[in-house]
């Protein structure tokens, strides 16, 4: 890992530690979240559902995702660090307890299938890109065991979503599009969009423990 990535990784760990300490103060209630997911299931509870802004892509799978990452992502939307208009509007309506409850609900909702210990090997070009980005340093073994639960599992996530998410870290000075994150921004800007797409395609092809779990709108 080069000095730039080492510094960014240290900063990320410090930031995550602060978020984690805050998150520990609020315990999520998965049962309580059953009455709060109506705003989520219209997109994340429909298999193959596609968003159309800023381009067409499948919305991310969140069943089986880390609870603390879900809380971290929602807080990023609420603070304006992530600028997707719909998600910002939803996050603005949530309390810290709501976020913790939703995180607990989705974390336990998709864990029904074991993840393979040995992922398929990427080709030499993709392997070099992943090494350059030091991706495994944060997202962990098989890209499914993050070094901190405030980081996302990304193995098996929709490849088109991963590509859009990675590109969003390169976007600056836009009011409705982009993500402000010093660590991911510094990493993503090292790559062309074609290289980001190659990495997204590989990571999305891996086995993961996230899935879409359809939910009834009538409760």
Count of positions (residues) in the chain: 219
Model pTM score: 0.86
pLDDT per position as a tens digit, 156-200? 999 999 999 999 999 999 999 999 999 999 999 999 999 999 999
What angle separates helix 67-79 from helix 3-24, to the nearest 10 degrees?
100
Residues with Cβ < 8 Å from 25, sequence gap 6 or more? none
pLDDT at position 119, please?
A: 77
Task: Return the DSSP state at 213.
Answer: -
| pLDDT on residue 5 | 57
Extract the tokens encoding 119.
């992922």
Alpha helices in 54-95 (DSSP H): 67-79, 85-92
> Residues 6 or more apart from 191 whose CB is under 8 A from it?
129, 132, 133, 166, 199
Question: Residue written as tokens 């760990």?
Answer: 13
- Give percent of the chain above pLDDT 90: 79
Task: Kindly tell me if the per-residue pLDDT of 14 is higher than 60.
Answer: no
Mean pLDDT for the stretch of residues 25-38: 94
Whether the pLDDT of residue 12 is over 80: the answer is no
Q: Mind listing the pLDDT tens digit for each residue in 52-73?
A: 999 999 999 999 999 999 999 9
How far, in whole angstroms, is CA 4 from its chain's centroid?
Answer: 23
Task: Give the residue carrying structure tokens 């890992």.
Answer: 1
Q: How far apart are CA 203 and CA 140, in angstroms?
A: 12
Q: Rounded CA gap, 157 and 180, in Å?
A: 21
179 — phi, psi (to 5°)?
A: -135, 130
As a dihedral over the C-alpha atoms of residue 142, residue 131, residue 160, residue 105, rounded to 10 degrees, the angle is 40
Instruction: State the pLDDT at residue 23.
Output: 44
Q: Find out whether 55 and 42 touch, Cβ atoms under 8 Å.
A: no
The candidate with the shortest Cα–Cα distance to 30, out of 94, 107, 92, is 107
Is the pLDDT at 211 greater than 60? The verdict is yes
pLDDT at residue 140 is higher than 80: yes
pLDDT at 205 over 90: yes
């Amino acid at each position: 890992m080069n000095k730039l990535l080492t510094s960014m990784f240290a900063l990320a760990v410090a930031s995550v530690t602060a978020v984690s300490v805050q998150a520990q103060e609020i315990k999520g209630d998965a049962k309580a979240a059953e009455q709060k997911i109506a705003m989520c299931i219209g997109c994340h509870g429909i298999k193959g559902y596609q968003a159309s802004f800023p381009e067409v892509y499948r919305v991310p799978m969140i069943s089986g995702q880390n609870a603390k990452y879900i809380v971290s992502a929602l807080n990023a939307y609420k603070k304006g660090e992530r600028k997707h208009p719909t998600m910002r509007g939803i996050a603005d309506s949530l309390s810290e307890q709501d976020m913790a409850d939703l995180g607990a609900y989705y974390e336990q909702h998709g864990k029904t299938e074991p993840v393979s210990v040995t992922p398929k090997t990427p080709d030499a070009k993709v392997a070099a890109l992943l090494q350059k980005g030091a991706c495994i340093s944060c997202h962990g073994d098989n890209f499914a065991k993050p070094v901190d639960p405030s980081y996302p599992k990304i193995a098996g996530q929709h490849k088109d979503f991963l590509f859009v998410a990675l590109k969003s870290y390169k976007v600056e000075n836009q009011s409705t599009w982009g993500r402000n994150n010093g660590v991911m921004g510094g990493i993503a800007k090292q790559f062309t969009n074609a290289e980001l797409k190659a990495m997204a395609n590989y990571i999305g092809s891996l086995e993961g423990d996230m899935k879409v779990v359809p939910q009834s709108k009538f409760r």
